[in-house]
Amino acid sequence: MKMKIKAIAVNTFKESARNKMFYLLVFFGILFALSSKLISFLTLGDAMKVLKDTGLAAINFFCILIAIFTGINLVYKEIEKKTVFNILSKPVSRDQFIIGKFLGLALTMLTALAAMAGIFFLFVLVNGGGFDLMILLYFFMLFLELLVIVALSLLFSSFTTPILSFIFTVSLYLIGHIMWTFNEFKMILRDPFWKYFTQVLYYLLPNLDKFNIKNEVVLNTPLSPWTILFSVLYALAYIPALLAVTILIFRKRDFQ
Give the binding site for other proteins (CB under 8 A).
Answer: 39, 42-46, 49-50, 53-54, 57, 60-61, 173-174, 177-178, 181, 208-209, 212, 214-215, 218-219, 221
Residue closer to other proteins by CB (options 195, 214) is 214
Residue closer to other proteins by CB (options 76, 211) is 211
Supply the minimum distance, in Å, between the C-beta of residue 137 and other proteins. Answer: 16
Supply the minimum distance, in Å, between the C-beta of residue 53 and other proteins. Answer: 5
State phi, psi for 107 to the nearest 5 degrees. -65, -40
Classify 222 as helix, strand or coil.
coil
Supply the minimum distance, in Å, between the C-beta of residue 255 and other proteins. Answer: 36
Helix (H) or strand (E) holding 6: helix 2-18
Q: List Cα–Cα distances, 88 to 3, 91, 94, in angstroms.
A: 15, 7, 7
Residue closer to other proteins by CB (options 43, 86) is 43
Q: List Cα–Cα distances, 159 to 69, 75, 172, in angstroms.
A: 16, 9, 16
Residue closer to other proteins by CB (options 129, 160) is 129
State phi, psi for 212 to the nearest 5 degrees. -90, 100
Supply the minimum distance, in Å, between the C-beta of residue 212 and other proteins. Answer: 5
In single-letter form, the type of residue at position 68 comes to I
